[in-house]
Amino acid sequence: MIKIAVMGLGTVGTGVVKVVEANETPIYHKLGDKLEVKTALVRRFKENSPYRSLMTDQFSDIENDPEIAVVVETIGGVDAAYTYTKRALCAGKHVVTANKQLVAEHGCELLRLAKEHHVNYLFEASVAGGIPILHPLTQCMAANRVDEIYGILNGTTNYILTKMVREGATFADALKEAQEKGYAEADPTADVEGIDAGRKTCILSDLAFGHQTDPSVVPMEGISRIDLKDVEIAEKAGYRIKLLGRCLRLENDGRTAYVAPHVIPVDNPIAGVEDVFNAVVVRGNATGEVMFYGKGAGELPTASACVADVIEALQATPGRPEISWDDNTDGFRDPLELTSSYYVRVKGAPSEKFGDVKILSQEAGQSAFITSAMTGHEIQSLTADALACLRVLA
Amino acid sequence: MIKIAVMGLGTVGTGVVKVVEANETPIYHKLGDKLEVKTALVRRFKENSPYRSLMTDQFSDIENDPEIAVVVETIGGVDAAYTYTKRALCAGKHVVTANKQLVAEHGCELLRLAKEHHVNYLFEASVAGGIPILHPLTQCMAANRVDEIYGILNGTTNYILTKMVREGATFADALKEAQEKGYAEADPTADVEGIDAGRKTCILSDLAFGHQTDPSVVPMEGISRIDLKDVEIAEKAGYRIKLLGRCLRLENDGRTAYVAPHVIPVDNPIAGVEDVFNAVVVRGNATGEVMFYGKGAGELPTASACVADVIEALQATPGRPEISWDDNTDGFRDPLELTSSYYVRVKGAPSEKFGDVKILSQEAGQSAFITSAMTGHEIQSLTADALACLRVLA
């Protein structure tokens, strides 16, 4: 019998307990032993919870329990999660997490700490929930130089954009409906302003390029300023607007990362990713583009990714070398240095400075068009008065 | 310095040598050591090959070389590949392969042999080329009970079907073009009759359900009898025809597997997989449906999957428990037991026996329609005289 603890009994934490119970047989088959959740750390006891007997409000009950081999952290945020993760690793316990903020901000340090204590710190569930992406990226694509990753990393914003496309809903109305359905928080800032996607983008960049990408320097633009008019013009012209997190390898060990809405040709497979689904595209120099698609959030998908990491932690050679990055943040470059085409909408006709443009729409005294390729700096200098300006994914 | 051998210097074998050279840096980063191809087994020496110095025509040069830790088998087929794989495993060398026929027919035995000799037998490249699928299935989705896998597993047939949809080409014309472009062999039987997809389906079934699925009992239907007329009717009605390999978990430890063309609603993400691309959908009881998409064949994608397995073999705990299945073939059931809707085209009007049908087209004295759900046995008894009958993916 292998015993684990869960910290936090919210959606994901409860899901972990359920997955361990429901999938006892396949888990036994993988581990060669039975897995059991012994302890669950909560802030307040809930007397009528079916998991009452697991609960403790003392972290030390987990920290000092030699029977507990793995701790699953689903507290979220930094404060308590950070402290308890460090203490659990120092106590020689593997830690598995779904906490993207903690990994994005302190992953480098926590991985180092894990290595020092010959345990694993694993976080497959922190990016794209139940979709396997971190493991395939670091292991299955290990023979590639990874040059780029982009993805739809936030289900809430993708749900809102899908509503805008399909039903002609405005951003405000679509957000309201997402909140009513429980897809968006009462305070939706982290989702709609691209911060959640940004944290996940940082983790992907860390793993792909081997150096810390500090979330505070990554430009994150959300979807709150997207005008339904641009959604409609793009759609009629064979494009779709999606919020992408993206990171790229640049020359001389450089790299960049950002989150922004993109205009994407509908024949790109990622344009067809709808509702709360997520998708991540990894471009390797040997494999080309590989896409991973599925449910990026939710109780059971995210929990099952945590439990897979529990199994991995218990099976793997401790301190596998591939899952780490250094804290050198020097090579990060402003994504405005990148060159691409842009979707622009202006009053009147497009200026010649936009190059050889492709007109998508001309009506009511406005023009919408795709520009020639230019840097972000150039497009900024040309679009101070524009009604809309969105990067095009080539 | 870690040294490996390649058996066979065809497309994939040559790709392995290229990937090891080109991606020396990322591979070093993963292994903590330099990787080098020391020896390549060929049938005939090619004097002007850039790899002439690696070549041997004696397998014993590899078998008896204590420096060689991993052997990559890209010979293909069974005969020599089977013999040399067994001898390499018995000599204590890890073996990595892209050979789906050998894995589908003898994987169970070869995995057992590998375990006995404390080495790995890995074959990520055998299914869907450069797309990570076997590893995510066995490792990242380890906390799921896998209930179903289906996928577009053969690029040649998908290319042909895409030509039929986009350009209105007949099967014969599209096949000819695929042969001219080098996507199809001079003898295209294994591709167009579903045998290649069938072998890959068996491997997926073996890993997902834990028991040997014998290719000789798996019904494999290809695309050679698909009429352009049905492609067109389906397309106009919002469906697309794709060749799928599919395996399902059934009650009482049962399972089934088959390859057949399917009619798929266009809003299913797999319907948008075009040209030579592959995609595999895995349905887990916790994760739901997860899709893996990318290039399923080609020199560098397939070779990079082999090299990733080389890295995995050198890193992993020998004999990881999860990659194995037993040789009990009892639970295999005829896919005609499955229930689904069917696309049927008949002369005249549909009989009432097809249930509550959805008419897609009625012209020139023929009707095309989607039936109510029924078993394969039932539909067979109703369609002896039908002009077309294809399973619908719900």
Among candidates B23, B132, B294 on the partner chain, residue whose Cβ is nearest the Cβ of A285: B23
User: Catalytic: which of B18, B93, B163, B200?
Assistant: B200
**Å from B48 to nearest chain A CA?**
25
- Residue among A156, A92, A130, A132 nearest A313 (CA): A92
Non-local CB neighbours of A233 within 8 Å, separated by 6+ positions: A345, A360, A361, A368
Q: What's the mean pLDDT in B212-219?
A: 96
Tokens of B338: 């499955």
Query: Could you tell me if B343 and B263 are in contact, meaning their C-beta atoms sit under 8 angstroms apart?
Result: yes
Say how far apart CA B376 and CA B394 lie, in whole Å: 15
Cα A78–chain centre separation = 17
Q: Classify B26 as helix, strand or coil.
A: helix
Cα–Cα distance, B282 to B205 (Å, whole number): 11
Q: CA-CA distance, B257 to B219, in Å (whole number)?
A: 8
Contact A304, B284 (CB under 8 A): yes
A143 touches chain B (CB under 8 A): yes
Q: Confirm or reject contact between B87 and chain A (CB < 8 A).
A: no
* C-alpha to C-alpha distance for A210 and A204, rounded to whole angstroms: 10
Q: Is pLDDT at B143 greater than 70 in this prediction?
A: yes
- Cα–Cα dist A307/B341, whole Å: 36
E-state strands within B214-341: 239-250, 254-265, 277-284, 288-295, 339-340
B residues 100-139 closer than 8 Å to A (CB): 124, 130-132, 135-136, 139
> Domain B2-130+300-315 belongs to what architecture?
3-Layer(aba) Sandwich (3.40)
Contact check, Cβ <8 Å, B305/A143: yes
Average pLDDT over residues B86-93: 98
B308/A143 touch (CB, cutoff 8 Å), yes or no: yes
Predicted confidence (pLDDT) at residue B297 exceeds the cutoff of 90: no
d(CA A292, CA B141): 13
Lowest mean pLDDT among A140-144, A145-149, B202-206, B216-220: A140-144
- In SS3 terms, chain A reads as CEEEEEECCCHHHHHHHHHHHHCHHHHHHHHCCCEEEEEEECCCCCCCCCCHHHEECCCHHHHCCCCEEEEEECCCCCHHHHHHHHHHHHCCCEEEECCHHHHHHHHHHHHHHHHHCCCCEECHHHCCCCCCCHHHHHHHCCCCCEEEEEEECCHHHHHHHHHHHHHCCCHHHHHHHHHHCCCCCCCCHHHHCCHHHHHHHHHHHHHHHCECCCHHHCCECCCCCCCHHHHHHHHHCCEEEEEEEEEEEECCCEEEEEEEEEEEECCCHHHHCCCCEEEEEEEECCCEEEEEEEECCCHHHHHHHHHHHHHHHHHCCCCCCCCCCECCCCCECCHHHCEECEEEEEECCCCHHHCCCEEEEEECCEEEEECCCEEHHHHHHHCCCCCEEEEECC
pLDDT per residue over B308-353, tens digit each? 999 989 986 544 555 789 999 999 999 999 999 999 999 999 999 9
Is 80 exceeded by the pLDDT of residue B219? yes
Supply the pTM of this predicted model: 0.94
Chain A's closest residue to B323, CA to CA, is: A30
CATH 3.40.50.720, applies to A2-129+300-315:
yes
- Per DSSP, the residues of B160-218 read HHHHHHHH---HHHHHHHHHHTTSS-SS-HHHHTTHHHHHHHHHHHHHHHSB---GGGS
Place of tokens 């067109």: B232
Longest distance between any two alpha carbons in chain B, whole Å: 72
Q: How far apart are CA B358 and CA B392, in angstroms?
A: 12
A30 touches chain B (CB under 8 A): yes
Is B336's Cβ below 8 Å from some Cβ in A?
no
The answer to whether the CB atoms of B135 and A136 lie below 8 A apart is yes
Cβ separation of A308 and B273 shorter than 8 Å? Answer: no
CA separation (Å) from A147 to A152, A209, A246, A255? 18, 8, 11, 9
Residue type, A254: G
Yes or no: say if B164 and B170 are a contact pair by the CB < 8 Å rule.
yes
Nearest to B135 among A25, A31, A140 (CB): A140
CA-closest candidate to residue B242, choices B223, B262, B225: B262
Listed residue (B209, B211, B197) closest to B101, CA to CA: B197
Radius of gyration of chain A (CA): 22
Catalytically annotated residues of A: 200
The answer to whether A130 contacts B25, with C-beta atoms less than 8 Å apart, is: no
Average confidence score pLDDT of chain B: 95
**Residue A228, burial from CB neighbour count under 10 angstroms (0-12, 13-18, 19+):** middle
CB atoms A30 and B322 under 8 Å: yes
- Count other Cβ atoms within 10 Å, centred on residue B355: 15
Q: How many CA atoms lie within 13 A of B72 on its CB side?
A: 37
* Closest-CA residue to B341 (of B363, B362, B372, B311): B372
- Return d(Cα B259, Cα B275) in angstroms, integer: 19
C-beta atoms of B294 and A289 within 8 A: yes
Q: Which helix (H) or strand (E) holds B103?
A: helix B100-116
pLDDT given for residue B319 in this prediction: 41
Phi, psi angles (nearest 5°) of residue B15:
-60, -40
DSSP assignment letter at B64: T
Residue holding tokens 């008019």? A229
A272 and chain B: CB distance < 8 Å anywhere? yes
Minimal-distance CA residue of chain B relative to A131: B290
- Nearest residue of A to residue B135, measured between CA atoms: A140
| Phi, psi (deg, nearest 5) at residue A384 | -55, -35
Distance CA A155, CA A29 (A): 32
Sheet holding A2-7, edge to edge: A55-56, A35-41, A2-7, A68-73, A94-97, A121-122
Per CB-CB distance under 8 Å, the chain A contacts of B32 are 321
CA pair distance B28, B1, nearest whole angstrom: 10
| B331 SS3 class | coil
Residue pairs spanning A and B at CB distance below 8 A: 205
Domain map (residue ranges) of chain B? 2-130+300-315, 134-295, 338-392
| B143 chain-A contacts, CB cut-off 8 A | 19-20, 23, 26-27, 303-308, 310-311
Cα gap B361→B79, rounded to integer Å: 50
CA B186 to chain CA centroid, Å, is: 20
Q: Given A30, A142, A304, which is nearest B287 (Cβ)? A: A304
B209 — contact with chain A (CB < 8 Å)?
Answer: no
Of all residues in chain B, the one with the smallest CA distance to A29 is B322
Q: Calculate how close chain A gets to B351, using CA atoms only, in Å.
A: 37
H helix or E strand, kind and range, residue B27: helix B24-31
The residue in chain A having the minimum alpha-carbon distance to the alpha carbon of residue B33 is: A321
Q: What angle do CA B287, B291, B292 make, to 5 degrees?
A: 125
Nearest-CB residue to B19 (from A124, A143, A301): A143
d(CA B255, CA B332): 5
Write out the CATH class of domain A134-295: alpha beta
Residues 285-314 of A with CB under 8 A from B: 285-295, 300-301, 303-308, 310-312
DSSP B127-140: TTTTS--HHIIIII
- How many Å lie between the alpha carbon of A381 and the closest alpha carbon of chain B? 38
pLDDT tens, chain A, 394 aa long = 999 999 999 999 999 999 999 999 999 988 889 999 999 999 999 999 999 999 999 999 999 999 999 999 999 999 999 999 999 999 999 999 999 999 999 999 999 999 999 999 999 999 999 999 998 998 889 899 999 999 999 999 999 999 999 999 999 999 999 999 888 888 999 999 999 999 999 999 999 999 999 999 999 999 999 999 999 999 999 999 999 999 999 999 899 999 999 999 998 999 999 999 999 999 999 999 999 999 988 899 999 999 999 998 998 654 455 578 999 999 999 999 999 999 999 999 999 999 999 999 999 999 999 999 999 999 999 999 999 999 999 8
The token pair at B356 is 């509550």
